[in-house]
Chain A
Amino acid sequence: TQLLEQSPQFLSIQEGENLTVYCNSSSVFSSLQWYRQEPGEGPVLLVTVVTGGEVKKLKRLTFQFGDARKDSSLHITAAQPGDTGLYLCAGADAGKSTFGDGTTLTVKP
């Protein structure tokens, strides 16, 4: 079973601060996805990264896929209360996606 470890598990910050969350594995993935989940809802896709070393930006969010396609990071600039939620990474390979345990982010106003 391929494992994805996310860190930190919990993160509580003030509005305006920057943060980075990590997703690490010993396995290589053909692609990696980041999802955001709000309470009582299903996860919603934020981004997919496919190429080693790839960097994608989505407004204040920057996603990076490691050169070896084993790890990824999500950086949020100037966090806002609306960014609060559970951030999940998922690695895809051999027809299935494996999810990490997630990072619960709380942004206080």
Chain B
Amino acid sequence: DAGITQSPRYKITETGRQVTLMCHQTWSHSYMFWYRQDLGHGLRLIYYSAAADITDKGEVPDGYVVSRSKTENFPLTLESATRSQTSVYFCASSESTGGFGTEAFFGQGTRLTVV
């Protein structure tokens, strides 16, 4: 199906474990983003990518790693999960950075709980 999909939708993991959240888009958009959304907060940018093999830090990158070997995939890895990383994670893609108003398309989110 066309669009942007995230997996898994729900994940429970233990403190200290490594966990990877997957994001796949079928539009061949250049830009992809990872955000986290916490209660009482909007979306905070973790990492973004302008193209394959190009990634950059966002507002809250500590504890996360990303890669972009293929245009359509942008996995987010928590190297050693902590309780503070319990959140809903959203992946998004767009044709540009949004500097001139290009729409960002969001996935349905992954709800991650670290116990």
Are A96 and B97 in contact, CB atoms less than 8 angstroms apart? yes
Tell me which residues from 3 to 62 in chain B have a Cβ below 8 Å from any Cβ of chain A: 33, 35, 40-45, 48, 50, 58-59
Tell me which residues across on chain B come within 8 A of A40, comparing CB atoms. Answer: 108-109
Please classify how large the interface on chain A is, using the bins under 10, 10 to 19, 20 to 34, 35 or more: 20 to 34
Please classify how large the interface on chain B is, using the bins under 10, 10 to 19, 20 to 34, 35 or more: 20 to 34
CB-contact partner of B99 in A4, A42, A44, A94, under 8 A: A94
By beta carbon, the residue of chain B nearest A4 is B42
CA–CA, A1 and B43, complex, Å: 14
Q: Taking the nearest CB of chain B, how far is it from the CB of A98, in angstroms?
A: 8
Q: Taking the nearest CB of chain B, how far is it from the CB of A60, in angstroms?
A: 21
B76 interfacial by beta-carbon distance below 8 Å: no
Are B43 and A93 in contact, CB atoms less than 8 angstroms apart? no
Chain B positions near chain A (C-beta within 8 angstroms): 33, 35, 40-45, 48, 50, 58-59, 90, 92, 97-104, 106-109
